Amino acid sequence: MQLNNPAAPSYAESVERVLLDQVIMTEYGQFNLLWSGYGFDGIFERFFDGQVNGLGPASNPDAIYVRFGRRSGGSDVRIMLLDEPAELDSDSSWADETTGELGHVPSGSYRLPVSAKGRDEGHDGEFSEEVIDHYILEMWPATPKSDDIVGTESQSAEYWHKTRGSRR
């Protein structure tokens, strides 16, 4: 992921910051992180070209599209800005989703793994009024490299990796 924000403070100012920690309302399980342009537009090649994973592709230079387990409703999302890699184990709106800003993220290239808990439960209870799926996105400065899948224990995630990922 490459961010270009000349007004952002230098990275040396932060050690670890919580950029977002809230329930996000989505439609069709779509969560977009935008820095220019528009989010996911249904053209999978624009977001997944050259990607292995089918959940959080970064091949579009304007945005990252993250696919949640549930179709509609609220999902718990926490986004962290870190100084170094985390330990890894195996204004457009058209629906009822939540919009907002993350604040200042320094310009540069970042790694952004997505960890999830309750993806399959979110898929099975996609119209539940309760929050059942939880996501943590931890980002840190890093040179660009190909994406990878660290581990998958979710049938929903395996489906999306196979269906939308696997384009390398």
DSSP state of 138: E
What pTM does this model have?
0.75
Q: Which of 77-91, 96-110, 153-167 has the lowest mean pLDDT?
A: 96-110
- pLDDT, residue 95, reads 45
Q: Which two tokens stand for residue 41?
A: 């537009």
- pLDDT, residue 154, reads 82
CB crowding 40-60: b at 16 or more within 10 Å, else e: beeebebbbeebebbbbbbeb
The beta strand positions in the chain, using DSSP E, are 2-3, 16-27, 30-34, 63-67, 72-82, 108-111, 114-117, 134-141
Residue 28: other Cβ atoms inside 10 A:
14
Express each pLDDT in 38-94 by its tens digit.
777 888 877 788 888 878 767 777 788 888 888 888 899 999 999 888 775 544 444
- pLDDT, residue 7, reads 40
Express each pLDDT in 19-36 by its tens digit.
999 999 888 888 888 877
- Whether the per-residue pLDDT at 5 is higher than 80: the answer is no
The one-letter code for the residue type at 39 is: G
- Whether the per-residue pLDDT at 117 is higher than 60: the answer is yes
Task: List the chain domain ranges.
Answer: 2-27+72-86+93-156
Q: What is the mean pLDDT of the chain?
A: 77
- pLDDT, residue 30, reads 84
- Whether the per-residue pLDDT at 8 is higher than 50: the answer is no
